[in-house]
Structure 1
Amino acid sequence: MGFTREDAARKPCICAISYKSLSRLIHSVIPRYAPLAEIRIVDKLFDDALDTARDLVAAREVDVFLSAGANGAFLRNNVTVPVVLIKVSGFDILRALLKAREISKRIAIVTYQATSAELEEVKQLLKLNVEQRSYTTIEDARDCFRDLAADGYKVIVGSSLITDLAEEAGLTGIFLYSRNSVCQALNDAIEIARIARIEEARRERINTILQHLNEGVVAVDMEERIESVNPAMEKLLGVASEWAIGRRLSEIAPALGLDPTLRTGVTELEQLQTVGKRTVVVNRLPIREHGVQTGAVLTSQDSTTIERVDRNIRSRNRPRHFTAKYQFAQIVGNSPAIGQAKALAAQYARTDSTVLITGESGTGKELFAQSIHNASRRRNHPFVAINCAAFPESLLESELFGYEEGAFSGSRRGGKAGLFECAHTGTIFLDEIGDMPVALQTRLLRVLQEREVLRLGGNDPTPVDVRVIASTHCDLQKHIEDGKFREDLFYRLNILHLNLPPLRERRADIRVIADYLLRDALRRLASSARHEHLLDAVLPFLETHLWPGNIREMENVIERIAVFVSDAAGAEVDPSWLRAIVPELFARELPFGVPSAGSRALKSVNRANELSHIRRVIDECRGDHAEAAKRLGISRTTLWRKLGSGSGGLSETAERR
């Protein structure tokens, strides 16, 4: 049947809708056709069969239906998929009649809708007493059998439905269809399915090409009437293809008319045309068949194509690791402080405005920056991060803004795109912006204002579409007073402000964060230590620590504990063992005047916030001035002097002390 191995790899789907005897006959030949087609049998009649057939068509699970008689005629009138009918051959009729004659000399043959003229010749040739009847509904068939029985007929020849109804009426049924008829119908069905598959694949291929072409395409005949138009051209013309086909192109878009091309047969390439408010580049070409012009085609490209090419050129110089991996769901904590920060950050993600994130070291500033990016419209574009404190001034400048070839000794051949260019259409995260040299702050300010970057040694600025998120642990106001930070840059950065709370202000989160970090550390170390037992043992010490290094410090402490527990999984956790591993958790026992690793040293606090910080520490120490001075890293005399100079005096706890 002309099937290739490739055809067999995608076997056609044939659905046989039949009834009882015919279903059994079809089932008997399925093994023979297994290499060629997927064949399923639906043993149903009429409306039930039609419901199943429509479901299969809707699910695109059938190429061709196979049926016979009344079932087949009913399907043909109600489904869009081809229906191949199993036809009765002259040999089938002869075989059935001869078999019937062995039972009775009075034979009736009952067929759907019409009788057979050829049967009259067979009757005369074989000298058979054969009565022909037809039916349109099951009730018609039953009435027919009652009449035949009354007339003395004993044997009925017909389809599976007819033989079943005949036997129901007390008559003998002879099945009309043969194995050869079924095989012939299956051969036809498979060939029809194969050809349909080929045509469908060709149409799908052409349609896919047209659907996904960036260029708009419209083809016209010699009268300039539109014959075909793809979606890109529909968008340009502002009309649907169903409406446009048959109309003259110059009537819809005069600037795109093809009359000159149809008259002269001349090809015109890369012509600028204005359609509405859009400027497009068009090509006009004649269509020729066997040397004779039969029409013309016009293709167009707009600015979106140019922008896409521009992005592709940029992406060739963009390292693939510029992605953000964290999202808001990965920020651990349920305290009101962190919840408020997450809610505000999520609100900021809905805009493109510049964000300034402030907070102590280790509070998760980059985690929030990545989460904002991943929740924004730029999520599928690059996220570029750089620590402004990690590079010397000259290197930081070339990293941020790039350089042209020969800009300085040792520069890369061909130059290098800076991180602002790499972040085009995405987000750049400027970590520790407070440590950026003032000279570079000036260049950064210009980039933020003009939205374009000039490479070192370059003459032509490159436009960039970048969302800026900056962070710092510094007091930028104090830096401005000290001349270390430009005030105009601060206002340019501080459009949206997000302050992250230190861990000591979200103590309700300590347990959940420690739980998360401990599970992760034990998993990475493949430790068999009991997680819950270990957490319960160390939690009291974690909750009383001040965490000046915040989450980053806790990560280090938890990992250190996990490493030692991994080496001695069965050991009990006691304070003496813990003191040796993480002495910072017991730093309160350090001598007076030596600020512990867990202290709340006054020198780390903004000058404007000193008094409120001192009061808070005194309250935490329940009015114990000695302990408060130790935590603050100052003497008791200095503590009293600062309290005396404040306008609010002592806290209530301190006064009671």
Structure 2
Amino acid sequence: MVQSVAEEIGLDIDIFDGIIGEVGRLGDVQNIKERLEEGSIDVIVSRGGTAQEIARNYDYPVVTISSGSLDLIECCNKAKQFSSNLVITSATPLVGLGLLENVLGVTISGIVIKDFTELENQIAYLANGDYCVIGGGPSILYAKKYGIPNVFLHTSRDTVRDALLRAKELSRLRHEVNRRSSRLQAILKYTNVGIIAIDEEEKIDIFNGAAEKILGVNACEALGQKVTEVIPNTRLQEVLADGQAQINEIQSIGDVRIITNRVPIYEGEVIVGAVATFQETSNIIQAVHQLRKEEIGRRFLTKYTLSDVLGKSHIIKMKKELAEKFALSDLTVFIYGPSGTGKELFAQGIHRASKRADGPFVAVNCGALPESLLESELFGYAEGAFTGAKRKGKAGLFELAHGGTIFLDEIEAMPIDVQGRLLRVLQEREVFRVGGESVISLDIRVIAATNKLPQKLLTDKAIREDLFYRLNVLRLDIPPLINRKEDIPLLCQEFLPKDKRQQARSILEKMMPSLQEYPWPGNVRELINFVQRLGFFLEVHKDVSSEYELLLNVMPELLQNMKEKSKEGDLRQQMGDYEEAKIVEALNNSDTLVEAAASLGIGKTTLWRKMKKISKNQ
């Protein structure tokens, strides 16, 4: 019957026959013990005394099958055939027996089962009289042992169904509790946050592995102890007493400094304990630095390396090699180069080749920021530093460059008073926010740049002398494009779109002499603009009718330069012809070379040299 009821309600059960006690130690009883020990049983369902005995000996949930009133009436009616004195055994006292006596005309007494030894003694005593025993398995076995009439107290199908439904729900709840417990244990075990909890008696009932590691206290020794005996200066007992949470408290325990949260534990509205979670301050600082590094790294990424500096000329190779050596040091670098020569490209390359490559690269154009904002942008500002300031203040660009490199372009545009603050940052490697009082330590490398001749910066007092010498530790001068003419063909090819290189090859070959004679005042930046215009022109105009048309559309400034060069040649020719005529006139009007030279205002030797030159040209 039990098996069929279980199948009806979708419950998987194992049935064991046997009694846990002195009588009838059957094989199944041993099996149930083994199953209980290995944890493969969720809930035990049993009757009366057996259920009571299991509950007494094993820490396992037990559902008792209690017989219903109709079951009891049926058994009593059957038992009165053997005797009018009925004894009913049960795990709990029965009520309403007097009414049953009147209905059946019998005398009924009850035995409450406390343990099987006492039960056996009580039933053995009945052997001396005229009794019939009604009960479950153990009672019937004892009655048979002493020759006493007996009736087994059967359980109805509905009663069994009710008990199994309760067992099913209990099993579900047990699994849910186990799942939650497993998750909690995993959290306690693998978190790097120390966790200590106390009960209402201030005794420690949770002390996880992270707490062991941070505090250097063995969990086995701490569990069950009063928290003040393990951590004398704890305030966890205060939270237990007043229910007030304590958040982000700094505490020293021995040589360890921690930041901790202490909160009460409630059951309903009653405080039943308190829990503290904590971490070492050093770990939190390290984590903050790492987060700041990653966040800033995403905002201030570099695009270029030194391999992006193009050129085969000896001078550019030499500058790249020098930059690579500078990358091995943390010393301040001062870069000079006319506009468009690639100062930031070199600065990024130095950063990427250095040990700070994973840190931020913060580029600041000092000439692009208004003077009124430059100071607060560079050094940051504290809360309430000025009208319109952010409520929590703002980190400056120097702070954002922590762990990396800050590139200060057009350094000469920085106001003199701000230069004084920069000098302190370079000297002390620390910064004060505008309106702030606390010092913020910095780990940065500084690269400064200018497009003005450094010596002229000092002469014009555009830069403080002490700041200049603090910046000018490692010097890198970037050559203008006119000083590396041999790189122009390579640069033109590299900056042209790949699909236009073949088409532009012959055109560039014709133009190259003129391109290499052009002074390129905008340097590489101007060359890039020229190449981009050339690519666009070739896209729009598939056929170019003349070189003149191409120059007129792509680079009129180059055409103008060629015209100026041509005019210079004509002027030189005209000047030569004029000089020759004057010499001939002087010779015709003079008797000697000395007189002729004197009339021209030159020496005899100079006149002789010019006469030889005229003779060669004729």
After TM superposition, the score normalised by the length of structure 2 is 0.49
Higher Cα Rg, which structure: 2
After TM superposition, the score normalised by the length of structure 1 is 0.46
